[in-house]
Chains A and B, each alone.
Chain A
Amino acid sequence: MGLSMKRTKTTSKKIKEESKHQCHGPVSENIEGLEKIVLIGNPNVGKSLIFNKLTGAYVTVSNYPGTTVTIDKGKCKIDGKYYGVIDSPGMYSLIPITEEERIAKFILLKERPKIVLHVIDAKNLERMLPLSLQLIEAGLPVIVVVNMMDEAKELGIKIDFIDLEKRLGVPTVPMVATTGEGINKLMGKLKRYSLKNKRQITFNKFIESSVKEIESCLKRDYSISKRAISLLLLQKDDDTIRMVKEEEGKRYGRINIIIETLLQNYSHPLSYIIKLRLQREANKIISTSMINVDIKKHTIKEKISRAMISPITGIPILFVILYFGLYQFVGVFGAGTLVDLIEGTLFGDKINPILTDFVRDNIPFESIQDLIVGEYGLVTLGVTYAIAIIFPIVGTFFLAFSIIEDTGYLPRLSLLIDRLFKKIGLSGRAVIPMVLGLGCDTMATMVTRTQETKRERVIATLLLALAVPCSAQLGVIFAILSGQPLALFVWFIVIMFNFVLIGFLAAKILPGDKPSFYMELPPLRLPKISNVLTKTYTRMVWYFKEIFPLFIIASVLIWSFQLVGLFKYILKGLYPVVNLLGLPDEAAKAFLFGFFRRDYGAAGLFEIQNSLTMVQLTVAAVTLTLFVPCIAQLMIMIKERGLKTALLMFFFVLFYAFAIGMVLNQILLVLGVGL
């Protein structure tokens, strides 16, 4: 489902509590040159948990070469020998739809794995076995890991593993990854593994004879069987076609004729025909190796789940979650209590004064002093900001988000909101980046990758840049407008209006297919504290690694601008613009700094709020919220969407924000709203 961001799923150096088995390598994470074990399977089957147990979670996360999809790698020791373990992105079939599925397939085909662990969900053997069969058919060295045995048992499902193993012709292991049950058995099977699967499914005579013909045209060496390649070609799998064209050169022309000749006899795509055949085979296997007593009970979990997805009950539930999870926990507790404590008490009263005195006394040049402890100094601005403001706000947000994510609520929210999101050119799938954007727009922009089409990715990126305020920004805006419910209301309405309007227009203007929505709903689960903490921790680590340096750079930039006096000129240039919004000159500073850190703009406003009228504050808050994304987000936008698109968005947002500010100012003045 791509719900949780791949990169953060397993990256922590997790406490070595499960290190009973001798399975992890030294902390060095280079797995080059080692024989590989690859984990593969649908999303949400517990691949990552098994990966953690195998590697002890000493992991590197890296982009798959040339792509933006990240994969986890680790090491595992079996029988005194080290193996490289790769956790691939969730994959539904060998014919990929999403970029992540493509990468999973590439790993399978290109890494030439020593062993492929196909992790499947015991509750859904029927839907999972066709892929196992396909992998086995392809001649890959498969071990089938049947996970979530505990949940299956609860539902009255019994699996005869001796029969299943015999019928599949490959080793199978029952597993409960959450508790680690079955890991030792898996280790045993890994130790004794030798490739001997030769299972072959026969398709109808037309397909079989075409497969034979194609096979005889394939002269090169492939990592999977020629039969499997031929079948993929018949199913018109783009990547396989490209690969075979490259490998076989002219011979592809002949192959293409064989394919087209066969396809003329079919009105259905061959992928459909082949899948049906695989399914029939899977059903045959299940008919003897699985007993389903079918304990039909409407558990309390099912009742809650249904309440969440029905609009009448689901929308109130959403507001409750937003109110407590976001507003109370992140806004009031994180951005209020914790920030006051850390920034005010710890940094403001203790660290910064002491450090400032120390620097002023010991370092000769004033400009260098300023660089470190000046108004925009590395420590006073950069470090203070990152630790005192970001840490509590973003930390509480990620904690809340991880809890919500682990319950399985987000897919339910997605389906609830899909219809609305379709109107703005997105699908329910976009709920995840949008909600995450309320925490950190930069991270959310990265997560737009999970969107299916380029069009959706572009719209999501634009909306994040324009109309989704991040938690740091929200914190300050709430502070400024607090006690002014009407102003806060106007702000909220204007932001929402622009979110919908721009989404709607973008959907109208951008070419491309309508988004479509499909999603598997994982069962509701009580989140495990250790998993939530791990996720929060890895997200925080990511945040500091990616964003913290940018704050430091921002501090240095502001400092050097000030040193050469460039700042004054830029500020002067901004005066007329802010005046157009009905704001005084001092507000220009807030806007300029807003680019370096989104909330700092708002914070700048906070300083001068006493000299502003409520109308001015409202206009400023709205403009700053819409105003250009922070420098970190812009960098990620460039990285993800390309320079041209990112800059276009940047300038659009810049002008649009001021235009809306101006219009709003006029409207409020004309209406004479006594804010």
Chain B
Amino acid sequence: MNISEAAQEMLEKLWLEIVEDKKGFIDVKKLGNTNVVKELAKTRCITKSDNRVRFTPKGRNESRKIIRRHRLAERLLHDVLEVGEDEMESAACKFEHIISEGVEESICTLLGHPKICPHGKPMPQGKCCRERKKITERIVSSLSELKKGQYGKIVYILTKNHKNLQKLLGMGVLPGMTVEIIQRYPSHVFQIGQTQIAVDTDIANDIYVRII
């Protein structure tokens, strides 16, 4: 679908407020730029009643895709290109508009189908995530999928499961550290510094590493 970049930006904003903050609607006055609102209404992305702006299913789907592209771009910049936080944000804003659907899937797969963005917000899942196509070439992957003898640098840890996170933090398993996979069955064993640590698959799934 062809909508302007400004309209795409606005869809992102709507997604954050309406979906992630679970507000359901947003006051039209908060949106400002009326031209863009008009464009979104015309392309049937939003509906407007009593000054309340809501998503149409189409608009919701569209903004979900944009958010996904934005956050994938962030991940790519953060995990692989190791771009600093400030730069990452502005670069991601440009990236999101030029990533096509096919490219999006390749990036997602390379990054091991990430579940959160670098800020910890949820990553909308794509078709590729659900199918989890196994491809050999990837750069980032969850620790549970690494093979014995592979090395990786931890790029991030899923922070949703608080207890698992605390355990990993406690043992000093943190982003930036290099791990070597010693064994993956029956438990995942990896070496970090001079210590070997064993975890179950649940916890190993929460650790994302860049393969080196």
A residues near B (Cβ < 8 Å) are 92-93, 95, 97, 123-124, 126-128, 130, 152, 155, 157, 266-269, 271-272, 275-276, 279, 283, 305-306, 309-311, 411, 414-420, 422, 427-428, 514, 516-521
Closest residue of chain A to B161 (Cβ to Cβ) is A516
B170 touches A97 (CB 8 A): yes
CA distance A539 to B192 in the complex (A): 34
B169 located at the interface, meaning its Cβ lies under 8 Å from any Cβ of chain A in the complex: yes
Q: Which of A95, A427, A520 contacts B196 (CB 8 A)?
A: A520
CA distance A271 to B177 in the complex (A): 18
Closest residue of chain B to A279 (Cβ to Cβ) is B174
Among B121, B157, B169: residue with most chain A CB under 10 A:
B169
Contact (A269, B165) CB under 8 Å given A124-B172, A127-B171, A415-B187? yes
A309 touches B200 (CB 8 A): no
Contacts of B177 in A (CB 8 A): 126
CA distance A267 to B123 in the complex (A): 12
Q: Mark B102-125, 1 if CB is under 8 A from A, else 0.
A: 000000000000001001110000
Closest 3 CB pairs between A and B? A127-B172, A267-B120, A92-B170
13 additional A-B residue pairs with CB within 8 Å, beyond A128-B172, A418-B198, A518-B167: A126-B172, A267-B120, A271-B165, A272-B159, A309-B183, A411-B198, A422-B200, A427-B200, A514-B202, A518-B200, A520-B195, A521-B189, A521-B197
Contacts of B202 in A (CB 8 A): 514, 516
B157 touches A272 (CB 8 A): yes
The 13 sampled A-B contact pairs (Cβ below 8 Å) are: A92-B170, A93-B166, A124-B172, A128-B172, A269-B162, A275-B174, A305-B196, A306-B182, A416-B186, A427-B200, A428-B200, A516-B167, A517-B187
B136 located at the interface, meaning its Cβ lies under 8 Å from any Cβ of chain A in the complex: no
Contacts of A419 in B (CB 8 A): 186-187, 200
Closest residue of chain A to B182 (Cβ to Cβ) is A306
Closest residue of chain A to B166 (Cβ to Cβ) is A97
Q: How far is the CB of B171 from chain A (nearest CB, A)?
A: 6
Contact (A92, B185) CB under 8 Å given A123-B194, A272-B159, A520-B196? no
Q: How far is the CB of A413 from chain B (nearest CB, A)?
A: 11
Q: How far is the CB of A261 from chain B (nearest CB, A)?
A: 15
Among A418, A422, A514: residue with most chain B CB under 10 A:
A418
Closest residue of chain B to A95 (Cβ to Cβ) is B166
Contact (A518, B199) CB under 8 Å given A268-B119, A271-B169? yes
Contacts of A305 in B (CB 8 A): 196
Q: How far is the CB of A498 from chain B (nearest CB, A)?
A: 23
Contacts of A428 in B (CB 8 A): 187, 198, 200
A123 touches B175 (CB 8 A): no
Q: Mark B194-212, 1 if CB is under 8 A from A, else 0.
A: 1111111011000000000
B residues near A (Cβ < 8 Å) are 116, 119-121, 157, 159, 162-172, 174-177, 182-183, 185-187, 189, 192-200, 202-203
B119 touches A126 (CB 8 A): no
A-B contact count (CB 8 A): 125
Contacts of B196 in A (CB 8 A): 305, 520-521
Q: Which of B116, B186, B198 contacts A521 (CB 8 A)?
A: B198
A124 touches B119 (CB 8 A): no
Contacts of A275 in B (CB 8 A): 169, 174
Closest residue of chain B to A411 (Cβ to Cβ) is B198
Contacts of A422 in B (CB 8 A): 200
A418 touches B187 (CB 8 A): yes
Contacts of B168 in A (CB 8 A): 518
CA distance A419 to B193 in the complex (A): 26
Closest residue of chain A to B120 (Cβ to Cβ) is A267
Contact (A130, B200) CB under 8 Å given A124-B194, A518-B167? no
Contact (A97, B167) CB under 8 Å given A309-B189, A517-B187? yes
A517 touches B172 (CB 8 A): no
B169 touches A272 (CB 8 A): yes
A279 touches B176 (CB 8 A): yes
Contacts of B189 in A (CB 8 A): 309, 415, 521
Q: How far is the CB of A259 from chain B (nearest CB, A)?
A: 16
Contact (A418, B200) CB under 8 Å given A123-B195, A272-B157, A309-B189? yes
A93 touches B170 (CB 8 A): yes
CA distance A95 to B170 in the complex (A): 8
CA distance A279 to B187 in the complex (A): 27
A127 touches B195 (CB 8 A): yes
Contacts of A516 in B (CB 8 A): 163-164, 167, 200, 202-203
A267 touches B121 (CB 8 A): yes
CA distance A309 to B188 in the complex (A): 10
CA distance A307 to B117 in the complex (A): 39
CA distance A428 to B188 in the complex (A): 12
Closest residue of chain B to A272 (Cβ to Cβ) is B159
Contacts of B182 in A (CB 8 A): 306, 309
Contacts of B119 in A (CB 8 A): 266-268
CA distance A157 to B120 in the complex (A): 36
Q: Which of B166, B167, B192, B198 contacts A415 (CB 8 A)?
A: B198
Q: How far is the CB of A101 from chain B (nearest CB, A)?
A: 8
Contact (A271, B166) CB under 8 Å given A306-B182, A415-B189? yes
Closest residue of chain B to A314 (Cβ to Cβ) is B186
Among B171, B185, B198: residue with most chain A CB under 10 A:
B198
Closest residue of chain A to B197 (Cβ to Cβ) is A520
Contacts of A152 in B (CB 8 A): 194
Contacts of A155 in B (CB 8 A): 194
CA distance A418 to B166 in the complex (A): 20
